[in-house]
A and B are shown apart, each in its own frame.
Chain A
Amino acid sequence: MFKKLKSIQKEFLGLNERNVKYIYPSNKRKDYKLADDKVLAKQIMEEHNIACAKTYAVIENIGEIPAVWNDMNQYRSLAVKPANGSGGGGILILSKSEDGTWMKGKESFTNEQIHLYLANIIMGVYSLGSNDRVLIEECIIPHSFFQSIYDDGVPDFRVIVYKHQIALGMLRVPTDASDGKANLHQGGLGIGVDLSTGQMTDAFDGNSYYDVHPDTLKQIKGIQLPYWDEIIELSLKTAEVFPLKYLGVDIVIDQNKGPLIMEVNVRPGLGIQMVNRKGLSPILKAIDNTIKQAS
């Protein structure tokens, strides 16, 4: 019993240790906002020519909403995000139907409803009550590879980068239960990835592991991810331009543009350990050791 507890302790990274040993020493508090605020993060990525979704507009004041939204009519589809939302909260994907009304999936939105939605973001509904900005950007068309696994929502790839080395990675795919969202705690499916080959390992839904997507039954285990080398390169390059040494990088693969950075995260979750059936503690220690030996 005691031995088992000891081995859990040795293998897995808990919230306390993640914060005290990795996040606080690696990331300066004043730099958190560069990652937390999607608008700031995109500015940095755009400055350094890092591939990411095109920004259509940023709205800061409620008064600007009608004019800016009117301007958005030129696009066929777009993504609305609170700059400081967390865990995918407040993200609205809209596309225009044949007759020109905005739709979220099969649900239609009037301009008035959208104005209210944007105003709520600015009033801070998704950012714990403090004022926020709205980021409107290009809507990603998921790569056809993903459509073959699950044909809804936007799957993304999350890596944890520590001191410019990739520690763990996983693919997040929506499920019937997750309403198009790929986040693990919203019902998304996490898929482990073998970092050396880019092949998918097990899929994890929070309770059990699968070889196939539990809703579509499409094979997952052993399948090679497309753009694998580019994904690794893009993650490392992104970690390079942010002054953060422990971060989560979220990447989507667009049908036309290939891998794009979606966002970066200063407090990447710990569920990735379950998805990969692998604890972060030994991996992070190994990274520290190689750096120590190198210097």
Chain B
Amino acid sequence: MKIQFGVHSLIATLIIGSITAIALKMKFGFFNQDQSEREVHYSVQYDFELLANSDKEQTVKAFIPVSDSRQTIKPIQFSKAKISQHNQTNQRATWDVDTATGKQNINYEFDVTGRSQRYTIDPEIKLSAVENSYSEFTQETEFIESNDSEILELMTKLKNEQAQVLPIITSFFEYVQGIPAEEIKELMTAKEALVRNAASCNGKSRLFVALCRSSNIPARVVGGLILNPDRKKTSHLWAEVQINNVWIPFDALNNYFAFIPSNYLTIYKGDEYLVTHSSDMAFDYFYTIAENGTNQSFLESFNMWHISKQTGLSERLLLIMLLLPIGALIVAIFRNVIGLKTFGVFLPVLIAISFMTTGVTLGIISFLLMVGLISLLHIPLAKWGILHVPKLVVMLIAMIFAMIVILYLGVELNVETVGTLTFFPVVIMTITAEKYARYVVEEGFKTASRVMTQTLFVTLFSYFILASPSVHIYLMNYPELLLLFAAISILLGKWIGLRISEYRRFGWMIS
């Protein structure tokens, strides 16, 4: 009885522990669709270093970020500055340079909490509902040449007489996104990006805005920083389009359509310079960005995105790690509750996971081909009386060699998917195929093929669960789900009911 109590309290602890953690995470909204949607915490510092060359009155000006719906800014410390509203949307700090001293440092430090935001654009919205030729955001500017004939010509071509806004913007976005990315330090205008057919963030953003403006859709560029632990000079520029009075973000360089990731710090709206200074000085600057992990609670950070980021392990690797026990549990249920036979417990799981890369069709074909190959090979090897372990080695070599041949032929015949074959768990496949071949000898082809069919069935079932994106997202966010699965497994291990197949096995005797 004492042991029973131990098992039950363990099960209860596992269930309560995991469900509590998940419930708390849900309550506080600690749930992300993917890495870029994770809430981020950074501290950012502007470091300006300057040497005044004359004793004239001189200033340094920089835009500073403000809090909004998706970013919270908390100033920490800064050199004495005048903060002013630059226009309706931007705030700017102005520092007077002390001409008496020589070298001088100016700092502005603040904490950022950033969240991602995704927007949906109603595909029904008509262009006519958005067009506004009087807005300041549809006018041509020095760097956004929206009235240029070449840009107008491109706009007309891309617009293709469509009436809705969404397909038009999509077509602009795809065009700009398709321009080869090139790292160019100098300011690049919309026209230059178009002519050069290569651009960095600012060229792409201006061209995208120009295309919108040329079709009378209000648009503007937005400047800021991409937050990652670094000390850098590079700032970033992206675009916003106004639809139904909402400014929707687009970044054609990093391929964010109507989405802004959590680590984009918005600093100013409009085509401005982030930092300006009087001409008569030597000036250098850096943006120092550090991650602020301290204010993140255990619950908030206990997820696979965080672990992936901190350890540098790939998200996919961590995901597969989590999928393994779930697959094993599925196999256990099939074996102990339904009563299906499979070759090994982990084999169906591993094959299911490899199907995630190869795809089901190619996966099943190669699975059956390889089992067939090994079975054929088993006949002469057994007849010649080759010892067991060397026989396994021969079979493994045959399997690998067959894969090399398939890869070679795949390349020759231009079959792109063939490269995914390497994800096949060859060693385990070989052992299973050998098991199958021996089963054929000992139990007959019928029994062996029945077990193989059941193995394949369990594999496919596991595949459809393991490959489901929502399973991935929940596991990455709530790795504590594994504890729940552990509890289910213990319960399953204590379950003494008849397997479904046993009802058939015994049932016919009653009646």
Which chain A residues have a beta carbon within 8 Å of chain B's beta carbons?
A: 4-5, 7-9, 11-12, 14-17, 20-21, 89, 113, 116, 119-120, 123-125, 129, 185-186, 273-274, 277, 279
Asked if A120 and B387 make an inter-chain contact with CB atoms under 8 angstroms apart, the answer reads yes
Asked if A14 and B511 make an inter-chain contact with CB atoms under 8 angstroms apart, the answer reads no
Asked if A16 and B507 make an inter-chain contact with CB atoms under 8 angstroms apart, the answer reads no
Partner of A17, one of B339, B443, B497: B497
Could you give 5 example pairs across A and B, Cβ below 8 Å?
Answer: A4-B510, A5-B503, A20-B493, A123-B388, A124-B389
Contacts of B442 in A (CB 8 A): 89
Whether a CB of chain A sits under 8 angstroms from the CB of B469 is: no
Residue picked from B443, B494, B502, most chain A C-beta under 10 Å? B502
Given known contacts A119-B387, A120-B388, A123-B388, A279 and B506 CB-to-CB distance under 8 angstroms: yes
Q: Whole-angstrom distance from the CB of A111 to the nearest CB of chain B?
A: 13
> How would residues 473 to 504 of chain B score, 1 for a CB under 8 Å from any chain A CB and 0 otherwise?
00000000000000000000111111100110
Top 6 nearest A-B pairs (CB, nearest first) are A17-B496, A14-B498, A12-B506, A125-B388, A14-B502, A123-B388
Contacts of A119 in B (CB 8 A): 387
Contacts of B385 in A (CB 8 A): 113, 116
Q: Whole-angstrom distance from the CB of A201 to the nearest CB of chain B?
A: 14
Partner of A16, one of B389, B443, B495, B511: B495
Complex-state Cα separation, A120 to B443, whole angstroms: 19
Contacts of B23 in A (CB 8 A): none
Contacts of B511 in A (CB 8 A): 4
Partner of A14, one of B388, B494, B499: B499
Contacts of A8 in B (CB 8 A): 498, 503, 506-507, 510
Asked if B494 and A20 make an inter-chain contact with CB atoms under 8 angstroms apart, the answer reads yes
Q: Chain A's interface: helix, strand, loop or mixed, by majority? A: helix
Complex-state Cα separation, A82 to B389, whole angstroms: 16
Q: Whole-angstrom distance from the CB of B401 to the nearest CB of chain A?
A: 23
Asked if A124 and B510 make an inter-chain contact with CB atoms under 8 angstroms apart, the answer reads no
Asked if A16 and B509 make an inter-chain contact with CB atoms under 8 angstroms apart, the answer reads no
Given known contacts A7-B510, A89-B442, A273-B506, A12 and B498 CB-to-CB distance under 8 angstroms: yes
Complex-state Cα separation, A277 to B511, whole angstroms: 12
Question: What is the chain B residue whose CB lies nearest that of A19?
Answer: B496
Q: Whole-angstrom distance from the CB of A254 to the nearest CB of chain B?
A: 27
Asked if A20 and B496 make an inter-chain contact with CB atoms under 8 angstroms apart, the answer reads yes
Question: What is the chain B residue whose CB lies nearest that of A7?
Answer: B510
Asked if B388 and A124 make an inter-chain contact with CB atoms under 8 angstroms apart, the answer reads yes
Whether a CB of chain A sits under 8 angstroms from the CB of B336 is: yes
Question: What is the chain B residue whose CB lies nearest that of A128?
Answer: B435
Asked if A274 and B506 make an inter-chain contact with CB atoms under 8 angstroms apart, the answer reads yes
Partner of B502, one of A15, A89, A185, A186: A15
Asked if B506 and A11 make an inter-chain contact with CB atoms under 8 angstroms apart, the answer reads yes
Q: Whole-angstrom distance from the CB of B370 to the nearest CB of chain A?
A: 20
Asked if A277 and B509 make an inter-chain contact with CB atoms under 8 angstroms apart, the answer reads yes
Contacts of A123 in B (CB 8 A): 387-389
Residue picked from B388, B494, B497, most chain A C-beta under 10 Å? B388
Question: What is the chain A residue whose CB lies nearest that of B502?
Answer: A14
Contacts of A116 in B (CB 8 A): 385, 387
Complex-state Cα separation, A273 to B493, whole angstroms: 23
Complex-state Cα separation, A129 to B391, whole angstroms: 12
Contacts of A17 in B (CB 8 A): 496-498
Asked if B497 and A16 make an inter-chain contact with CB atoms under 8 angstroms apart, the answer reads yes
Contacts of B502 in A (CB 8 A): 12, 14-15
Contacts of B497 in A (CB 8 A): 9, 14, 16-17
Complex-state Cα separation, A8 to B494, whole angstroms: 20
Complex-state Cα separation, A8 to B505, whole angstroms: 10
Question: What is the chain A residue whose CB lies nearest that of B438?
Answer: A125
Contacts of A12 in B (CB 8 A): 498, 502, 506
Contacts of A7 in B (CB 8 A): 510
